[in-house]
Amino acid sequence: MRALAGAVCRHRWWFVYPQFALFGLCVYYTAFSTRHLQMDMDRDDLVGGDKKYHQVFMRYRQEFPGEDELAVAVESSDHERNRQFVERLAAKLELETNLFTDVFYKGDLKALGRKALLFVPEAELTDLRQTLGVYRPFIQKFTVATNLDSLFNLINEQIRTSKREESAENNSMVKALPALQRIIEEADAACRTPGTPVSPGVTALFGSGEEVDQAAYITFAGGRIYLVTARAKSEALSEAAVQRMRELMEATVLELPGLNVGLTGEPVLDYDEMEQSKRDTALAAVVALVVSSLIFITAYREAGRPLKTVLCLVIGLGYSMAFT
């Protein structure tokens, strides 16, 4: 001990500098090594993995992963703008196949696949067939249109050349006027807003209104709230999915301003809790260190040795975190 003390006194920097270097290495290892020390906010880890009820619950969650959904809610009194938002956001999410899966916002027949008509009651199938029969002349006439301009050129030509007497084409045109009006309104709105415009959908052909839209989409409060749900592709991508979801939401809000949009879901709550815990932990550590330093300085009535003691404490904390 006498020899060691003498060496420290004679060559103190031989001992101090390596400690600073090792402390810096420990801090770097702790802060940037993603494979070692991480904050885990999964509440399931608070329960022993050997518990039978927990094993049953984990199998249940694997079979029904509804709790892992990210839910985006948009609220306004304008039903059409709500619909536009969920359509645009869902289109962006469906392109992000590396992060998101099971995007769901609308329960139309298309979402049920090629055998969707098997789920429709016979009475509705009969009505659908009759409606298609009425619109058949209109559809056959205008399927050659490739854009909005050619569509209305054909419509104008049909109006100019139509005969006075009643015909199937004239009746079909008259019944399609509400759908054409909606197409014009949505085309006008698309010219005024940035981003890729949303298709009116096949239901626009049948003169659908707010009631039909609310039946097709996930809505609440009489259409004031529309919902989009999605899941992260894997649990490891949950944090990245939450961050990317918020980026896509902000981009869509810029296209359709004036909407009240929010994100919720268990992964979102876990992520926000983790971020808040990180911020609060860092703030609490700094405040505790400063207050402890002031107590040392006040008690010893000097600043030199107390601050050196605090410095040793900080270096010891760095070693402890790296060791952990």
DSSP character string of 132-198 = HHHHHHHHHHHTT--SHHHHHHHHHHHHHH--SS--HHHHHHHHHHHHHHHHHHHHHHHHHS-SPPP
Residue range 175-184, pLDDT digits in tens: 667 777 777 7
Question: Is the pLDDT score of 319 beyond 90?
Answer: yes
Its sign, for the CA torsion 37, 43, 48, 52, is: negative
Model confidence at 105, pLDDT cuts 50, 70, 90, reads: confident
Count other C-beta atoms under 10 Å from residue 214's C-beta. Answer: 17
Choose the weakest-confidence range: 5-9, 168-172, 217-221. Answer: 168-172
Q: Which two tokens stand for residue 7?
A: 């060496």
Q: Mapping DSSP to helix (H, G, I), strand (E, B) and coil, where does residue 32 land? A: helix
The pLDDT value given to residue 200: 61
- Percent of the chain exceeding pLDDT 90 equals 25
Largest CA distance in the chain: 119
**Mean pLDDT value across the chain:** 82
Residue with tokens 């199937």: 168
Q: Which two tokens stand for residue 139?
A: 């559809």
Question: Is the pLDDT score of 136 beyond 80?
Answer: no
The pLDDT value given to residue 47: 80
Return phi, psi of residue 89, to 5°.
Answer: -65, -45
The pLDDT value given to residue 21: 93
Residue of 112 and 309 predicted with greater confidence:
309
The pLDDT value given to residue 189: 72
Exposure letters 193-210 (e unless 16+ CB within 10 A, then b):
eeeebbebbebbbbbbee
The pLDDT value given to residue 36: 65
Element containing residue 2 per DSSP (H, E)? helix 2-10
Question: Is the pLDDT score of 204 beyond 70?
Answer: no
Model confidence at 89, pLDDT cuts 50, 70, 90, reads: very high
Question: Is the pLDDT score of 202 beyond 60?
Answer: no
- Separation CA 179–CA 23 (nearest Å): 71
Instruction: Please return the burial class of 315, using the count of CB atoms within 10 Å of its CB with bins 0-12, 13-18 and 19+.
Output: middle
The pLDDT value given to residue 15: 87
Residue range 229-283, pLDDT digits in tens: 998 888 778 888 999 999 999 999 998 888 999 999 888 988 898 889 889 998 9
Q: How far apart are the first and last CA of the chain?
A: 30
Count other C-beta atoms under 10 Å from residue 268's C-beta. Answer: 20
Residue 85 and residue 252 in contact, taking contact as beta carbons nearer than 8 Å: yes
The pLDDT value given to residue 71: 92
Residue range 44-60, pLDDT digits in tens: 777 877 888 888 888 88
Its sign, for the CA torsion 155, 156, 161, 163, is: positive
pLDDT (mean) for 286-292: 92
Question: Is the pLDDT score of 1 beyond 90?
Answer: yes
- Separation CA 34–CA 55 (nearest Å): 28
Count other C-beta atoms under 10 Å from residue 245's C-beta. Answer: 26
Residue range 147-158, pLDDT digits in tens: 778 878 877 877
DSSP character string of 263-324 = EESHHHHHHHHHHHHHHHHHHHHHHHHHHHHHHHHHHHT-SHHHHHHHHHHHHHHHHHHHH-
The pLDDT value given to residue 209: 56
Residue 253 and residue 259 in contact, taking contact as beta carbons nearer than 8 Å: yes
Residue of 81 and 194 predicted with greater confidence:
81
Choose the weakest-confidence range: 89-98, 135-144, 167-176. Answer: 167-176
The pLDDT value given to residue 35: 64
